[in-house]
Amino acid sequence: MSFGFMGIQFGFALQNANTSRIFSNLGANADEIPILWVAAPLTGLIVQPIIGYLSDRTWSPRWGRRRPFFLVGAILASLAMLIMPNSSALWIAGGMLWIMDASINISMEPFRAFVGDMLPAEQHTSGFAMQSFFIGVGAVVASLLPTILTNLGVANEAAAGIVPNSVKFAYYIGAAAFFVCVIYTVIRSKEYPPEDMEAFLREKERVTLFEGIKETFTGVMHMPKVMKQLASVQFFTWFGLFCMWIFTTLAVTKHLYHTTDSKSAAFNEGANFVGEAFAMYSGVSAVFSLLLPIIARKVSRKLTHMLCLMAGGIGLISVAFITEPWMFLISMVGVGVAWTSILSVPYAMLAGAIPANKMGHYMGVFNAFIVLPQVCASLGLPAIMKQFPSVDPLNVVVLGGVLMIIGALLTLRVSDNEKIRLPIEGEQGLAPAYESPATPAPSV
């Protein structure tokens, strides 16, 4: 079930580690890069709730409910990954980022709902932790690809306006991995059919794009209590992460490799090192994901999430005190611990607090509280940097750590009941809506 998420992470990790580098290679200034990133979160804000709504109301005897979306997203994302590093202008690279992120979202959100569909409440934490494991494995390999290719003799530098071959070939490999891994899950996994097919078919007749957009807005207005409480946690957490993703390359190359020239060997060496550092936090995440369910059972999910976010915040703040590249790798250990929990615990808490027949839709709505902070970062940070030119990219990374700690403290407000699983939510005037069997087969 989770193997395909490893492929998705090839796209996501390459995007996080190399997008700012690609924009810099194509001539973007430091204060222009955040606004170019805005395409990614805006796409998720629009796409994920609608895809969740549609996947809740999809069923094919052969392909199931979520798997058609896995497949379509994989095809589109793989094609975008082949094109993006060959962009000849900033606007083309920004457009390809938009398409690539939309395609990743088409695959990714149904994967979140997939675990909620297929596992009973007591297995949610373990199920999402398993996704975190595969995410970590995929991210380690993807983040290291430019460095590996450079060590194999692939050119790591290029003329102005051209992306180095080490990045291009990394994207080609990532596109292939994305497609193959998702196809494996599509072929090898099975899904439960709607329990009440007649009610499902009546509900399906109402499915339109307009209804999906309408329900997205009504879903925000009628969020369950736990989702509202998690919203503020997600906002500060993901604002902090976006500060890290956007500005780490600029901070590291400036302070540890002492250059701001994107055409120089030192800059591209530093950019490769950022990929290695991101591989570090992804590797820590993969290992820690095996321990997370045990810790959560011992001390509760919300306390576990708080401690993990604290570790991530401290890791980012510590970047202000490093003087050698190896020290940055230590900072990323804390980020890896936080990343494990970010990818699993909020979704495990949410899965038991939303109606079973709207799992995909509410998972998509929940994504708004990941997207909005990223939009705020993309639009707000350039304005601050233009107003205050002395603001250093390193300071923005440290700000990300502070915001993550605020998110950690807000976790204490969450009312998490690990034993519940809400029943299906009937629609007015309709028979009760469909749901997956309450107890999965023993093989699950």
Could you count the other beta carbons within 10 Å of the beta carbon of residue 31? Answer: 16
What pTM was estimated for this model as a whole? 0.69
Domain contains 422: no
Domains in the chain: how many in total?
A: 1
What residue numbers bound the domain in which 95 lies? 3-188+222-413
Domain contains 441: no
| pLDDT digits 0-9 by tens, 358-398 | 776 677 778 778 878 888 887 787 777 777 777 788 999 99
Asked if 17 contacts 139 with a C-beta cutoff of 8 angstroms, the reply is no
Based on its alpha-carbon atoms, the radius of gyration of the chain, rounded to whole angstroms, reads 21
Q: What is the pLDDT of residue 206?
A: 64
Q: Tokens for 247?
A: 């500005």
Domain contains 434: no
Domain contains 426: no
Domain contains 344: yes
Q: Tokens for 329?
A: 């790798």
Among 402, 238, 248, 262, CA closest to 325: 248
Q: What is the pLDDT of residue 440?
A: 40
Domain contains 437: no
Burial profile 374-403: b = 16 or more Cβ within 10 angstroms, e = fewer: bbbbbeebbeebeeeeebbbbbbbbbbbeb
One digit per residue, the tens of pLDDT, for the chain of length 444 reads 888 888 888 888 888 788 888 888 888 776 677 777 776 667 767 777 777 777 777 777 788 888 888 888 899 989 989 998 888 888 888 888 888 888 887 887 787 778 777 888 778 778 888 888 888 888 888 888 988 999 999 988 877 778 889 989 999 999 999 999 999 988 888 887 777 667 666 666 666 656 666 666 665 666 778 888 898 999 999 999 988 988 898 899 998 998 888 788 888 888 889 888 988 988 898 889 888 888 988 888 999 999 999 999 999 999 999 889 899 999 999 999 999 999 889 888 887 777 766 776 677 778 778 878 888 887 787 777 777 777 788 999 999 999 999 999 999 998 876 554 444 444 433 333 333 333 343 343
Q: What is the pLDDT of residue 408?
A: 96
Q: What is the pLDDT of residue 442?
A: 39
Q: What is the pLDDT of residue 48?
A: 73
Q: The domain spanning residue 274 has which CATH number?
A: 1.20.1250.20
Domain contains 105: yes
Q: What is the pLDDT of residue 336?
A: 93
What's the CA angle centered on 30, arms 24 and 32, to 5 degrees? 85
Q: What is the pLDDT of residue 208?
A: 63
Domain contains 200: no
CA 231 and chain centroid, separation: 16
- How deeply is 75 buried, as exposed, middle or buried, from its count of CB atoms within 10 A (0-12, 13-18, 19+)? middle
